[in-house]
Amino acid sequence: MRVLVVDHPLVSHKLTVLRDKNTPSPVFRLLTEELVTLLAYEATRDVRVEPVHIETPVTTAVGTGLVKPTPLVVPILRAGLGMLEGMTRLVPTAEVGFLGMARNEETLEAITYAERLPDDLTGRQVFVLDPMLATGGTLREAIKFLFRRGAADVTCICLLAAPEGLEALRQELEGANVTIVLASIDEKLNENAYIVPGLGDAGDRLYGVV
Ligand code: URA
């Protein structure tokens, strides 16, 4: 497992505004998309490509095409949905599957309540979108699910991670073809498994308390 923290002043600036508790939902949604686009630029560095032959208005040339099937993007509902637009803006030909996961607030275990993914992911490159890597339970279950379906490699784009969650994932996924791309590794988890300093409940900040 590889961890990549994207070090860029715009990433840091946008994240700062997201963290601010006074940032309203519409601005939070927009900034999340913008931030994901910046993270996705780094996260797709190893996207599979092949040479393509084209004609420019002047001559013929060899360029770069995405290998088919194109990457599969999987937002984890609910909060991951707020990251989808930022990702597909950069890779508009990607396919999109959905995984609905929530954590039981008492046991903190991840449960899957919805799934709309291809049955066979053999050889596919998969990009998982989940803003908050807290205990790592949700991502661990999602990643294992995707590998069981045959995914070749999984790249997770998150806004924030807690060191505890990253360590738990590292222990489970040692040697697995997994990359975690982040805007920041924060200080710690608090007693309610919230990331500190964090940005609060990402789903609530995107979509309200429902
Ligand atoms: N999920 C969130 O939305 N925020 C946290 O801080 C932890 C998990």
Helical segments of 44-94, H only: 81-88
- CA of residue 198 to ligand 1 center, whole Å: 8
ipTM score for this prediction: 0.96
Sequential pLDDT tens for the chain (210 residues): 999 999 999 999 999 999 999 999 999 999 999 999 999 999 999 999 999 999 999 999 999 999 999 999 999 999 999 999 999 999 999 999 999 987 777 776 788 899 999 999 999 999 999 999 999 999 999 999 999 999 999 999 999 999 999 999 999 999 999 999 999 999 999 999 999 999 999 999 999 888
- CA of residue 70 to ligand 1 center, whole Å: 30
Is the distance from the beta carbon of residue 202 to the nearest atom of ligand 1 less than 6 Å? yes
pLDDT in the model for residue 99? 96
pLDDT in the model for residue 101? 87
Is the distance from the beta carbon of residue 194 to the nearest atom of ligand 1 less than 6 Å? yes
What pairs with residue 116 in β-bridges? Answer: 98
pLDDT in the model for residue 111? 85
pLDDT in the model for residue 123? 93
Task: Give the whole-angstrom CA distance, residue 53 versus residue 49.
Answer: 13
pLDDT in the model for residue 176? 96
pLDDT in the model for residue 133? 97
pLDDT in the model for residue 210? 80
- CA of residue 80 to ligand 1 center, whole Å: 12
Q: Is 2 left (phi over 0), alpha (psi -120 to 50) or beta?
A: beta
pLDDT in the model for residue 102? 79
Euclidean distance between the first and the last CA atom of the chain, given in angstroms as a whole number: 35
Is the distance from the beta carbon of residue 207 to the nearest atom of ligand 1 less than 6 Å? no
- CA of residue 2 to ligand 1 center, whole Å: 22
Task: Give the whole-angstrom CA distance, residue 124 versus residue 151.
Answer: 5
Tell the CATH topology of 2-48+64-196+203-207. Rossmann fold (3.40.50)
Residue nearest to atom 7 of ligand 1 (CA): 194
Task: Give the whole-angstrom CA distance, residue 170 versus residue 178.
Answer: 10
Question: Which atom of ligand 1 lies nearest, measured to the CA of 204?
Answer: 3
Is the distance from the beta carbon of residue 195 to the nearest atom of ligand 1 less than 6 Å? yes
| Residue 31, token pair as written in the block | 């900034």
Task: Give the whole-angstrom CA distance, residue 205 versus residue 126.
Answer: 26
pLDDT in the model for residue 104? 76
- The closest of 77, 123, 119, 72 to 93, measured between CA atoms, is 72
Residue nearest to atom 3 of ligand 1 (CA): 201
Is the distance from the beta carbon of residue 132 to the nearest atom of ligand 1 less than 6 Å? yes
pLDDT in the model for residue 105? 72
